[in-house]
A and B are shown apart, each in its own frame.
Chain A
């Protein structure tokens, strides 16, 4: 694997993770992560839109002048989302009904416009597609992690309703982890989403500290992003 692709992998999945470090796309992240099936569904939809929009933006990056850059990007993203919505409605109707309003909201997921602006508009198609894939995977992984925690603590069950994504055979995947579990409502309600997102960020930072103390890194340049709302240095 060429080193720049490896770099993109690390950035997308860990060091620049859209959900845990850049804190982008929090609205769908917090709203949909009530169980694994919903989280995975929205994660995959976001991943798909991110790759499509990154590729399209990268393809037109030399044609589009600076002045109309943003409207064109928004247009591309909105079209990709609408296509995804139509396709999901046609071939996975139950899931479409569950994700409901959150599909159109992918348009407003800043992670997607952010990647179009920060990466795809400056790079060739292949790295842009790969960046979209890795950023999308990073986002989907956090969604699924949050979904599992909330589903497990909230209901004592894991992988319920997976048939919405994988057909009837997935009904058997539902596993009852705790028997006679008294539901812990806070985990399913919105405050639980905030609390567990915070804990995940804390865990990530703690792991970073641990790794940093094990092998002394080259001094981190502070010339990263100047945005106020980040939980790490975006490089």
Chain B
């Protein structure tokens, strides 16, 4: 259902808060910010969190590569087995975890996700990373920060801060998975 721009059932109004051009600008800005903060791409590894963090991370990696003329290692991380809500939500199919060939040890790992909300996904991702290697530092890049954190976690790079109510939901659509680039806010009269 996530590929449909129509809201499900009774969720009320839909607002498009980012369109394709906005998302492209965000990718460019975050790419520059990462390069600036990490003093060049030498030790940087991007890890996209499954599922929509992965295409977002790839886009950033490509843009960083264009800027620097070097290939930026990018991988994917499935955090399903590290979630704390299996009992509540039931099991899900696993997506691939691909760690770039150089590994994570002593690298600066930039975790990339589409939406930052409670912080629990990032907490699970940090646990997952620590089982795979020992990075020098871990940073976080997100397309949208919608607030309502439940853990002491913040993003280093934010595409857009999006104040929302708990009644609303945020949908990110990326062309790799959904044929269209956009961020929608559903419901709650936003």
The finding on whether chains A and B are genuine partners in a shared complex, rather than unrelated, reads no
A contacts, CB < 8 Å to B: none
